[in-house]
Chains A and B, each alone.
Chain A
Amino acid sequence: MTKSHITPVGVYVTVFLALIALTIATTLISRIELGPFNFVVALTIAVIKASLVVWFFMHVNHSSSLTRLFVFAGLFWLAIMLVFVMSDYVSRTWLPGPRWL
């Protein structure tokens, strides 16, 4: 990673426009009834937007692989927490046992 890297203004503006476009898209799509896919689509668009910010605005495109590893690790750990906690709630009704609800 070199600190002297200067990203052209055009790149930033393009990313900005993409983010705005995705925001408009996600807002409009939310008005359409898609069942469970509303959630999937909205989260997917959010992930894309976040990735654009991380990759371009936060300069991860020019960062060391160590930095990228750290970013990945943070997201992975968040996933551990969400997945394991939800696995409890989702599976409470699968096997007979004391029920909370």
Chain B
Amino acid sequence: MSTTLPRPQIEAVNYLNVDYSWKSWLFTTDHKRIALLYLFSITAMFGIGGVFAGLMRLNLLFPDGLFQHDTYNKFFTMHGIVMVFFFLVPSIPATLGNFLIPPMIGARDLAFPRINLLSWYIYIAGAIITIVAILHGGVDTGWTFYAPFSSSYSNTHVILAAIGIFIAGFSSILTGLNFIITVHKMRAPGMTWGRLPLFVWAHYATSLIQVLGTPVIAITLVLLGFERILHAGIFDPNLGGDPVLFQHLFWFYSHPAVYIMILPGMGVVSEIVPCFSRKGAFGYEFIAASSLAIAVLGFLVWGHHLFVAGQSMYASMVFSFLSFFVAVPSAVKVFNWTATMYRGSISFETPMLYAFGFIGLFTIGGLTGLFLATLAIDVHVTDTYFVIAHFHYVMVGGMVLAYLGGVHFWFPKMTGRLYPENLARLAAVIVFVGFNLTFFPQFILGYLGMPRRYATYAAEFHTLNVFSTAGATILGVGYIMPLIYLSWAWFKGPRSPQNPWGAKGLEWEQSPTPPPTYNFDVPPVVTEPAYNYAGEVDDGGH
């Protein structure tokens, strides 16, 4: 990595310094500024979700708990709602996706810049309403809102939270819509589908899921809200309804939603690994195709959340088989990333450390998903900490690490500054250690039978819970470090050269660092394939 350049007398005009007024930020249609608006809001929501996680782990230090059981129920509910709908779903697409997709394809902006800004305001509206629900006492149904508890028995602010999530869903839909049209219509000359960065493929696949899945949870929440008011019985067995119907409708979105969360992370890893292996992506077509396969197959497996709910055994068998099948494209990616690294020239900058962490932890998380997809095992471990460990391995060990890796990788591009590398590496290691100490014990706890969503537990689980809370504390430190040093580096860090990583891609090679408002001084024309680290190492890619 190069050292600082002589500071220019006059800084080039870029998207950050072109106008400093607050109006130019709040009424911007520049996708890069909107990405930063999202970055700040999403970080704030992550903090709120993290606070609830901290309170939960504090409670779980003690077998008899610490808080009232109803209060604990609210903690895990709010943690889930905030993290899923206000952090995980929008995170990479709304920040890195918004920022990078136009320059990566050689466009001046997304297809619908005003809709992009609208999507941020909608996100903020949803977030405010949810925060109001929290401040008024929160919700205690679990983020899954299962009926009939949520529709008939809970005394908490279900409808308010449902409205917040409903609104936030529109933000997600508009982002996805924008990305789909942008990728179809706004590519620069020579930027064929076969030359698209894998980050873009991943976001295209994500956008398909956002557009097709999110409306279903929207209508589910609407039906739930009206049921809560009218008690017609649509989900209430006492009134002739079927609670499993709620679960079908809820998970029809919420399972694909987890692919909304992970696919962009995979896209980030697909950018980082070739760069820090100095080698073209191995099996480019397979990685691209696997993103689409995950998007499609991800819609066919939701019944694996209903194995013990009363779903027919025949349907459960079909869903179980399809759930095994959906693991295949993910595995394809892991093999291809590994093959990319093989005989590459690997260096261990912070983004690469996060990518390594992703590959290992996502693999563990994914494999444990197969345990859960197996009907006979799921009967034993469902609704235990095994499930919690599984999804935190993919969501935190996978998604959050990819998010941090991506933020670090593109930090110089977004800010024109360099972050402190050694401190960042230390933070990455702390995150990795803290994460594993938090969540690995939970696999064991779940297998031994500790149920999820309980404020208390049997004494035999005490030691592992203490490890888990200790890990959570370390993980928290690992999160706070980048918050501090990245904020510092934004204003005080050394200026970045045009391409500090020597990465391939239009955003690095042809768009200035940081970019001007329309991304390119000269409209780009693409003549070479993606990841053309040619001549550096013999690669098997294209």
Contact = CB atoms under 8 A, between A and B. Distances in A.
A/B: CB atoms within 8 Å of each other: yes
A95 interface: yes
Nearest to B322: A84
A73 B318 CA distance: 22
Residue among B312, B313, B318 with the highest chain A CB neighbour number at 10 A: B312
A85 B300 CA distance: 11
Nearest to B299: A80
Nearest to A87: B315
Nearest to A89: B312
B312 A92 contact: yes
A100 B459 CA distance: 36
Interface of A: 66, 73-74, 77, 80-81, 84-85, 87-92, 94-95, 97-98, 100
B170 interface: no
A92 B303 CA distance: 14
Contacts of A95: 312-314
Nearest to B237: A100
Nearest to B306: A88
A91 B315 contact: yes
Nearest to A77: B212
B312 A77 contact: no
A98 B310 contact: yes
Contacts of A97: 312-313
B311 interface: yes
Nearest to B180: A70
12 contacts: A77-B212, A84-B303, A85-B249, A85-B252, A90-B312, A91-B313, A94-B312, A95-B313, A95-B314, A97-B312, A100-B242, A100-B244
Given A88-B312, A100-B244, 5 more contacts: A89-B312, A91-B315, A97-B313, A98-B310, A100-B310
B462 interface: no
Contacts of B453: none
Contacts of B245: 85
B318 A87 contact: yes
A30 B208 CA distance: 38
Contacts of B310: 98, 100
B315 A84 contact: yes
Interface in B296-312: 299-300, 302-303, 306, 310-312
Contact of A88 (B212, B300, B311): B311
Contacts of A87: 312, 314-315, 318
A92 B306 CA distance: 13
B69 interface: no
Contact of B314 (A74, A77, A91, A98): A91
